[in-house]
Amino acid sequence: MSDQLDLQLHGLSKSLKRGEMHVPDFGEIAPASVMLQDLDGFQPIGCSYMNNWGLERLGTSLAEVNAMGESYYEKFFDPEELMPIFLGMGNYLAKGDFDQQYNFFQRVKLDGDSDYTWFYTVCKLIQLGRANNGENNKLVLLSSPVVGMGNVIARVTKTLDQDSYIRKHYRKFSELTSREKQIIALLANGHSSAEIADMLFIALHTVSTHRRNIIRKIECRTFAELLRFAMAFDLV
């Protein structure tokens, strides 16, 4: 079930990048918490959006969330679980890889509750056009109660109308390394192995090894299949 939610956020990031959808459009129909964090480079500097679903369940407002600072985490989350989450988030942001996601389970104390509720959270770096100072990078967080995850997936699937090819091949895409994705992009743009070796400053036999691994992972035996895969996952 969590793999399906990961796929949905991948589809959402594509729609956002293309300008086909805005985060508030999605957030107001998703039965889950949707948060958009502003970044300075790849460091979070504030929350610019949280949907009504999330705010109502926390019993707060966007202004209060930003005013709380670090106490926001102490108020709503289990302190014992915060450090590994922060470490994982920091490692994810440090990589700056827009093709990857960071996922984790966490316990959240909802408004009026004495006990914590388990949530599954998916984090995804996205690009929303260009700002005056360069790339307008954001971090989207989609958090769903574990017991209601199926409803989230059904609603998001209907909203995004995911392409069946992407659904079928998403796991293959998620298992590729950053270097393999880079080489797929170059191959799809018509570059030879020798040209790729020169462009990436690696040995020709290293490129050949990567190509063999790519063929094994994505099972694309022809250039047409490789090109379709690259286009479906925004590698070209």
pLDDT: is 6 or 178 the higher one?
178
- What is the spatial distance between Cα 189 and Cα 228, in angstroms, rounded to a whole number? 12
What number of other Cβ atoms are within 10 A of residue 82's Cβ?
14
Determine the pLDDT at residue 201.
95
The answer to whether residue 83 scores a pLDDT higher than 80 is: yes
The residue ranking higher by pLDDT, 20 or 229, is 229
Between 170 and 26, residue with greater pLDDT: 170
- Quick one: pLDDT band at residue 216, thresholds 50, 70, 90? very high
Q: Are 117 and 103 in contact (CB under 8 A)?
A: no
The pLDDT value recorded for residue 100 is 83
Torsion angle, alpha carbons of 162, 166, 176, 201, to 10: -100
Model pLDDT, residue 42: 86
**89 touches 106 (CB < 8 A):** no
Which tokens sit at 45?
């500097």
CATH classification number, 165-232, choose in 3.40.640.10, 2.40.50.100, 1.10.10.10, 3.40.1050.10: 1.10.10.10
Give tens-digit pLDDT for 101-134. Answer: 888 888 899 999 988 888 888 888 887 755 445 4
What does the alpha-carbon distance between residue 196 and residue 190 come to, in Å, rounded to a whole number? 10
- Report the CATH number of the 2-161 domain: 3.30.450.20
First to last CA, the chain: 29
Same CATH topology for 2-161 and 165-232: the answer is no
Strand ranges for the chain from DSSP E:
33-40, 43-50, 101-108, 117-131, 134-145
Least confident of 40-54, 92-106, 142-156: 142-156
Q: Provide the edge-to-edge strand list for the sheet that holds 33-40.
A: 43-50, 33-40, 134-145, 117-131, 101-108
Q: How confident is the model at residue 6 (pLDDT cuts 50, 70, 90)?
A: low
Q: Where are the domains of the chain?
A: 2-161, 165-232
* pLDDT, averaged across the chain: 82
Cα–Cα nearest to 206, from 215, 196, 216 = 196
Higher pLDDT, 158 or 76: 76
15-24, 71-80, 94-103, 182-191: the lowest-pLDDT one: 15-24
**pLDDT at residue 154, rounded to an integer:** 61
Residue 28 CA, distance from chain mean position:
19
Q: In this prediction, what percent of the chain has a pLDDT beyond 70?
A: 81
Predicted local distance difference test score (pLDDT) of residue 15: 65
Cβ-proximal residues to 216 (8 Å cutoff; 6+ apart), any chain: none
At 134 the pLDDT is: 47
